[in-house]
């Protein structure tokens, strides 16, 4: 294959496959776009199977089967098998409220490698409120027990925000009790639905610092028993996150309708041209599509980033956040203390943390057409 880019582009390691945007939960921080893709737009089984084969050939090692709720796809076991046949490590990212024992066994038999289960709270009251689904917590607990009983490795994922930040220790206890090997404490990132709900989710700086300390203490206490990975919240930070470890460097994201994105929020940058797996091979999209080449490397960076010793550590932070908060996707991430917008972002975080609005739950927009 020959490709036109001037710099050295490495093959991707990971692929997020959003099999569907449909979901029984309505979490107000969902990373899916506010304009959700509908069932009739979803790729069929054969196309996903081809995409997984192309991903393996391209160099992808791990596929994260996600959504929405991926288990709403009746062909999920066939899709897992397609990953296995291609030699891909398959990771199911699920809400765990609609997979019974028989289905889980089918997935395990198909060769599923790992399950990541979300918990919206560490107690039924919080989970059911945040997910806007009565009984969700109890179902998740039952599902976790089935996962470990079958012998599949389990990760618990907790998205952290103002309504559950006081439960860090309880999340840790829950992970240990349920036999998880790994716990993700991921502070909400403000894109998609989380951006809509930012004033209902944003914690104060003091709360964030306390949460970080609690995670550190738990990590030390449970070393060798539970791996804890933390995603830090960035509005209160001094340095930007190395978003996606650099644009188009390590991973790609395929939406339910087959659009291929450098990250799940990339569509918020309106001038980018995304290619679809229906029209292009995955390799061509990775190396040659305009969206992937838009912010690769360091050439696009503003002068402050170009002359910064962290330019290949932070990779300029997040493009979507730059656009959202400064109006220009090629600006440095405004979280960075070197950004002229840094103070504005910190003020915004303080104001949001003091707000008290209700959640706007994630759902499909009303329409006269069926979903």
Partner 1 sequence: MTAIQESDIVRLPRGVRLREDKQRGGWVLLAPERVFQLDGIAQTVVSQVDGERSVGAIIDQLCETYQAPRERIAQDVTAMFAGLVEKRVLEVA
Q: Is 329 exposed, middle or buried (0-12, 13-18, 19+ CB in 10 A)?
A: buried
Show contacts with partner 1 in window 123-182 (CB under 8 A). Answer: 151-153, 155, 181-182
State how far Cα 296 lies from the chain centre. Answer: 20
305 is in an annotated binding site: no
Regarding 59 and contact with partner 1 (CB under 8 A), the answer is: yes
Please identify which residue in 24, 89, 219, 361 interacts with partner 1, judged by CB under 8 A.
89
Regarding 242 and contact with partner 1 (CB under 8 A), the answer is: no
Please identify which residue in 20, 32, 62, 207 interacts with partner 1, judged by CB under 8 A.
62
Taking the complex as a whole, the smallest distance from the CB of residue 277 to partner 1 amounts, in Å, to 19
Taking the complex as a whole, the smallest distance from the CB of residue 14 to partner 1 amounts, in Å, to 8
Among candidate residues 129, 132, 187, 181, the one with its CA nearest the CA of residue 156: 181
Regarding 64 and contact with partner 1 (CB under 8 A), the answer is: yes
Size of the site for partner 1 (CB under 8 A): 26
Interatomic CA distance for residues 104 and 15, integer angstroms = 22
Among candidate residues 72, 62, 112, 75, the one with its CA nearest the CA of residue 92: 112
83 is in an annotated binding site: no
Regarding 13 and contact with partner 1 (CB under 8 A), the answer is: yes
DSSP state of 246: S
Q: Is 364 exposed, middle or buried (0-12, 13-18, 19+ CB in 10 A)?
A: middle
**Of 89 and 300, which has the nearer Cβ to partner 1?**
89
Among candidate residues 4, 59, 35, 3, the one with its CA nearest the CA of residue 259: 35
DSSP state of 94: E
Binding site for partner 1 (CB under 8 A): 10-11, 13-14, 58-59, 61-62, 64, 87, 89, 91, 113-114, 116, 151-153, 155, 181-182, 184, 223-224, 227, 229
Binding residue ranges for [4Fe-4S] cluster: 23, 27, 30
């Amino acid at each position: 294959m020959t490709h036109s880019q001037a710099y050295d582009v490495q093959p991707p390691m990971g692929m997020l496959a959003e099999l569907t945007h449909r979901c029984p939960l309505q979490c107000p921080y969902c990373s899916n776009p506010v304009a959700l893709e509908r069932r009739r737009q979803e790729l069929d089984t054969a196309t996903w199977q081809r995409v997984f084969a192309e991903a393996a050939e391209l160099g992808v090692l791990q596929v994260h089967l996600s959504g929405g709720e991926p288990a709403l796809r009746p062909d999920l076991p066939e899709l897992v098998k397609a990953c296995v046949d291609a030699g891909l490590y398959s990771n199911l990212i699920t809400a765990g409220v609609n997979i019974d024992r028989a289905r889980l066994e089918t997935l395990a038999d198909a060769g599923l490698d790992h399950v990541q289960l979300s918990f919206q709270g560490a107690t039924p009251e919080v989970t059911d409120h945040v997910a806007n689904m009565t009984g969700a917590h109890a179902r998740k607990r039952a599902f976790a027990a089935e996962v470990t009983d079958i012998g599949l490795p389990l990760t618990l994922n907790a998205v952290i925000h103002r309504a559950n930040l006081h439960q860090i220790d309880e999340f840790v206890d829950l992970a240990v009790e349920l036999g998880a090997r790994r716990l993700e404490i991921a502070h909400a990132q403000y894109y998609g639905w989380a951006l809509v709900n930012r004033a209902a989710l944003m914690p104060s700086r003091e709360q964030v610092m306390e949460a970080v300390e609690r995670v550190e203490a738990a990590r030390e206490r449970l070393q060798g028993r539970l791996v804890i990975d933390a995603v830090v919240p960035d509005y209160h930070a001094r340095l930007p996150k190395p978003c996606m470890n650099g644009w188009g460097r390590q991973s790609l994201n395929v939406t339910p309708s087959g659009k291929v994105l450098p990250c799940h929020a990339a569509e918020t940058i309106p001038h980018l041209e995304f290619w679809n797996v229906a029209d292009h091979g995955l390799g061509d999209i990775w190396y040659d599509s305009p969206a992937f080449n838009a912010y690769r490397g360091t050439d696009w960076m503003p002068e402050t980033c170009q002359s910064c010793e962290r330019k290949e550590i932070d990779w300029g932070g997040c493009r979507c956040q730059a656009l959202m908060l400064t109006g220009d996707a090629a600006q440095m991430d405004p979280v960075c203390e070197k950004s002229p917008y840094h103070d504005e972002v910190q003020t915004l975080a303080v104001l949001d943390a003091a707000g008290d609005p209700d959640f706007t739950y994630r759902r499909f927009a009303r329409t006269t057409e069926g979903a």
